[in-house]
Amino acid sequence: MQSRPSRPPIAFLLTQVGSHAAGQFAERLAPLDLSPPHAGILRAIAVNAGMSQQALSGYLHILPSRLVTLVDELQERGLIERRDSPEDRRVYALHLTAKGQSALEAIGRIGREHESAVCAPLDDGEREQLGALLLKIANAEGLMPGVHPGFGRMGPPRNNPGTSELSRGNGKLRRTPRRGK
């Protein structure tokens, strides 16, 4: 008679389910041509309309250079706009456009569908209990509500073809030529 394997450690299960759920969420966002970081930034701007990029960087705990790349992508797609700040002429205030608001509504629908799919094996009471327990852990860990801790682990932006980059050669920084331009 085989013995039933013991349950994996809770931390492992949290990591396993979290990683799986994050991957599925990214797949669900793909038809919108958005990544989870894009979705998080749109949500943060909606909650903090008029926030500067510097303040948004601090709020999300993301490297400013990485944030600039993501904000540029959202602006190029017409989802956000940079407006002159009424408090400081040197600063831009970030705002969702009508197109950005529509994208955020679509992200919300996708998020609700995703939650429903991930939690399908649970009844309503179990979902409430799971939510309460996860919130208790998140609060004990000092996680900011609504801000994914992965922002803090995002490295510098990847170089896109056609952009210049700084490289180190002979101990000095030098600008490398643009490729393909």
Question: 25 is in which domain, residue-wise?
Answer: 11-140
pLDDT confidence of residue 162: 37
Q: Which residues of the chain have pLDDT under 70?
A: 1-4, 155-181
In a domain, residue 152? The reply is: no
In a domain, residue 166? The reply is: no
In whole angstroms, what is the distance from residue 153 CA to residue 147 CA?
13
Q: Which CATH number is 73's domain given?
A: 1.10.10.10
Which amino acid is it at 117?
A: A
H/E stretch holding 165 reads strand 165-169
Pairing of strands 80-84, 92-96: antiparallel
Reduced to 3 states (helix: H, G, I; strand: E, B; else coil), residue 176 is strand
Counting the structural domains of the chain, the total is: 1
DSSP assigned state of 155: -
Q: What is the pLDDT of residues 118-143, one digit of tens each?
A: 999 999 999 999 999 999 999 999 98
Reduced to 3 states (helix: H, G, I; strand: E, B; else coil), residue 92 is strand
Which amino acid is it at 116?
A: S
In a domain, residue 36? The reply is: yes
In a domain, residue 45? The reply is: yes
| pTM recorded for the entire structure | 0.78
In a domain, residue 161? The reply is: no
DSSP assigned state of 149: G
pLDDT confidence of residue 170: 35
Q: How far is CA 69 from CA 64, 146, 169, in A?
A: 9, 21, 25
How many Cβ atoms from other residues are within 10 Å of residue 91's Cβ?
16
In a domain, residue 50? The reply is: yes
pLDDT confidence of residue 167: 32
How many secondary structure helices (H) and strands (E) does the chain include?
A: 6, 4
Reduced to 3 states (helix: H, G, I; strand: E, B; else coil), residue 169 is strand
8 Å CB contact between 54 and 165? no
In a domain, residue 6? The reply is: no
In a domain, residue 177? The reply is: no
